[in-house]
Structure 1
Amino acid sequence: MPEVLVVYYSRGGSVARLARHVARGIGEVDGMAARLRTVPPVAPVTQTAAPPVPDDGAPYVEPGDLRECAGLLIGSPTRFGNMAAPLKHWLDGLGGDWASGTLVGKPAGVFTSSSTLHGGQESTLLTMMVPLLHHGCVIAGIPYTEPVLNTTRSGGTPYGASHVAGLRDEAPVDEDEATLARALGRRIAQLAARLA
């Protein structure tokens, strides 16, 4: 069964929760499945390595995941209007995949979470698209034919799914955010099925 790869970094858990909604949307498309993966944290201390397998949650992404996927979604918390360093570090290490065209023609989308409504969600989503364009991905967002995009008072943009987590990462993914995250997952899965 073709799989859409969902790669994310989540420090407080809100991006992981959003990733699960994205994955649910992928699973709503006949013949498609989601493969959830995360990236290890990065630290200025170079002698400390992350364990080979996370203690809980999704396993770390491996090179084969990119080669095997029919589509890709990446997610990150917002850090000053940009993606978090661990996701950027992972993307920066994909030079071999870029050179060999691993992701060329595969549909891709992005999702994020921030503490506040105006915490840089849209700029984060837009900057997350740039490496995907360099890889030759077919970028897709959420069209305004999704009615909730016109009425949400929390996360959700045409650039991708998003979540407003609160200052202490205490806010659950609300109904609108979950609906739009599932819509993004469905859209990438539908495109992947058509392109396959």
Structure 2
Amino acid sequence: MNAPVTQPFNPVLVDESRPVDIALHHEVSQFYFREARLLNNRQARVWLETLVDPDVRYWLPILEDRFAKDQRPAPSPDEPAIYNDDYKDLDNRITRLETGLVWMEDPPSRLRYLVSNIEAYHTADAQLIATFCNVHVYRNRRQREETNHFYGREDVLRRGTDGQLRLLRRKITLDQRVVLDKNLYFFL
């Protein structure tokens, strides 16, 4: 009997009974490690142009703490969100950072991304790979500003025309109910 099929925030059906083989899992892991290195080094433009699909949807929903008996549905991408960006929105954010006029990032934050617990599965569409991972971002600004962000990601990767994996969908689920950081002007 097959494991149940789950559905992340997009219409891609994930079959958790069909994990990718070790070679493809290694390629997925290398994708995430390269993404972390680019973001650690403040190379957001390279990240966007080499690892992000032109049809991307980058989503950080607003979550509520609810009692167990509250059965309202989880947020959808049609509702208000912290981020609900497409490629153009991401490009605009990066362009603004490149101006040097973003006061909250001058001097720039020191960031360290740690990616773990990477899972990768085949989907109903052979061109797409569904992934789940956990991320810890340590951020340091000035002398005493330190923040830690822990979150999960549900991603869908698609092979670009160049044969490389690209980020098509990202749902970010922050573990904090209230973000105590002064801003989220970096990529999760």
Normalization by structure 1: what TM-score? 0.27
User: Relative CO higher for 1 or 2, CA cutoff 8 Å, sep ≥ 6?
Assistant: 1
Which has the larger share of helix? 1
| Structure label with greater radius of gyration | 2
Which has the larger share of strand? 2
